[in-house]
A and B are shown apart, each in its own frame.
Chain A
């Protein structure tokens, strides 16, 4: 029967075919089992649901003041910038920046006095200092991360230290003159 071809090995046998198809099915099956095992690590439905957009009234934030709030478990800074801080942010030659972005790209037109950024350092996730009065604001009048010494400017852009990126701007829109919806 098949003995002759098996011993010569010149031609695929029925046994080769069975080995390959069994192996392939086994591999696909094993991969399918891995899907739920890995997928359960992702944010669950409850965590995702807690990430719904939130409304924020900016009117109570005085000039020069910054507040902290959480959205999706992430810290967000909202800063009411002074004229001096805005001017400093605008004066920067963006070609010199590590993560080149203009101040206009990071604020909403007509609302340049408000800066909304994530409050976690893009290096390793510490909370940069500089929001509360008396905290060091770094060399560029923005924020200073105490963990590994990253300096952010008054537009939340990385200027010095190990962080690779600017503090990201979360998705938000103005719903009224002093009201925003984050998310």
Chain B
């Protein structure tokens, strides 16, 4: 959609480099002249926020790895060593542990943004599937990172999650033994999790590269879901418009991030993880980190081991099939009066499952979890059915129309007074 390149090398060195490796041209085309729909709202800044979080996690993580010891006998104390002895170690660790939570807050907003505005629909199916892959990689990375401090929650979280694979028929037990490198979660497990926790973020970075490539190939969706028809009228250049808006969103996000780091650094963690791992005693109430709770609730809702594991995995994998499950051609929920209500119900269901995942495995929570699990999957069924009969509301004919009002005369007038035209 970006058309031909508008990059003009100005100096001799730039011309020389451009003929050999057009890297400045690539940066210019994707971050300066790249056309952005002019009606994007602040929900669209979360892509940039997520990129920032990934970089932040990699920087703090690489530094933490310089001071951490991946050994079952030493790991817990090495984390305390980081907290007490290493200069600013407390800050780096709190940035990293809270950063994981902030990363998930941002990714959930980003995903729900995509769900509401139909960003998964043609031609963005591959872009969406790459996003689901990133989400899965994030979950694996976060899980393995949580194991590294080797506290009680680390140890029992690792035990419960690796045991999920034992639900697979025939090969399950062998897979679990190979994951553990022993007959239980122990030192070999910690070592390999550390290695993979270091690797996976770079794999995420790679898939993010593909995600952005796909995004820039098909162009961004926007709140109306109407595709760009006239690049001049419907879009503004990425710089300065999106750059500044993304930066502003990022700074606001960082304020929240900093509040947690400096004032409530353990709010999103569990006190039990400050007890060293003890294989002889499971904490009385074991729960995963908050960002896994909805899926954990689905796992516990099914009274069958294999069934629970399949439902939990299916809850994530079904997202990848959403582009084909939703039968409506209208992207934005703004113009879908019936589906929109189901969307908000789905948001509530996800929050409800998160709450239930944190509750003990007793009544009434188990029954409620079952109801909400059915409703979770029901959303995808509903989208398949609603699209067949729903009458969408009147949609704007173009992005420019939605921003500047309907009539051509007003449009011409408004365009003339746009700051873009002056600068």
Contacts and interface: CB of A to CB of B under 8 A. Distances in A.
Interface of B: 156, 159-164, 166, 177-184, 186, 188, 192, 279-286, 300, 302-306, 308, 360-362, 366
Contact of B305 (A41, A43, A51, A163): A163
Interface string A110-131: 0000000001101111110100
B286 A43 contact: no
Nearest to B285: A146
Interface string A57-83: 000000000001010111100000000
B184 A74 contact: yes
A177 interface: no
Interface string A18-58: 00000000000000000000100111100100010000000
A42 B362 CA distance: 37
A119 B160 CA distance: 14
Nearest to B156: A126
A164 B305 contact: yes
22 contacts: A41-B192, A43-B183, A44-B181, A47-B181, A47-B186, A70-B279, A73-B182, A73-B186, A73-B279, A74-B184, A75-B184, A124-B163, A125-B166, A127-B281, A127-B282, A146-B283, A146-B284, A148-B300, A162-B304, A162-B305, A164-B304, A164-B305
Contacts of A120: 159, 184
A125 B279 contact: no
A123 B156 CA distance: 13
Nearest to B287: A147
Given A47-B188, A126-B282, A147-B160, A41 B178 contact: yes
A119 B184 CA distance: 12
Given A148-B300, A162-B300, A123 B305 contact: yes
A68 B304 contact: no
Interface of A: 38, 41-44, 47, 51, 68, 70, 72-75, 119-120, 122-127, 129, 145-149, 161-164
A175 B184 CA distance: 27
Contacts of A44: 181, 188
A47 B284 CA distance: 29
A149 B361 contact: yes
A34 to B, nearest CB: 13
A163 B160 CA distance: 12
Nearest to B183: A72
B131 to A, nearest CB: 29
Given A126-B286, A147-B286, A162-B300, A41 B181 contact: yes
A148 B285 CA distance: 9
Contacts of B160: 124-126, 147
B183 A147 contact: no
A161 B300 CA distance: 10
Contacts of A123: 163, 305
Closest 3 CB pairs of A and B: A149-B361, A73-B184, A125-B163
A73 B183 contact: yes
Nearest to B309: A124
B175 to A, nearest CB: 10
Given A126-B160, A147-B160, A42 B286 contact: no
A38 B286 CA distance: 31
B156, B161, B166, B361: most-surrounded residue (chain A CB, <10 A): B361
A72 to B, nearest CB: 4
A44 B178 CA distance: 10
B167 to A, nearest CB: 8
A38 B171 CA distance: 15
A60 to B, nearest CB: 18
Given A124-B160, A127-B280, A127-B282, A74 B181 contact: no
B181 A42 contact: yes
A45 to B, nearest CB: 12
B150 to A, nearest CB: 15
Contacts of A74: 183-184
Given A44-B188, A47-B182, A146 B305 contact: no
Contacts of B156: 126, 147
A144 to B, nearest CB: 11
A123 B192 CA distance: 24
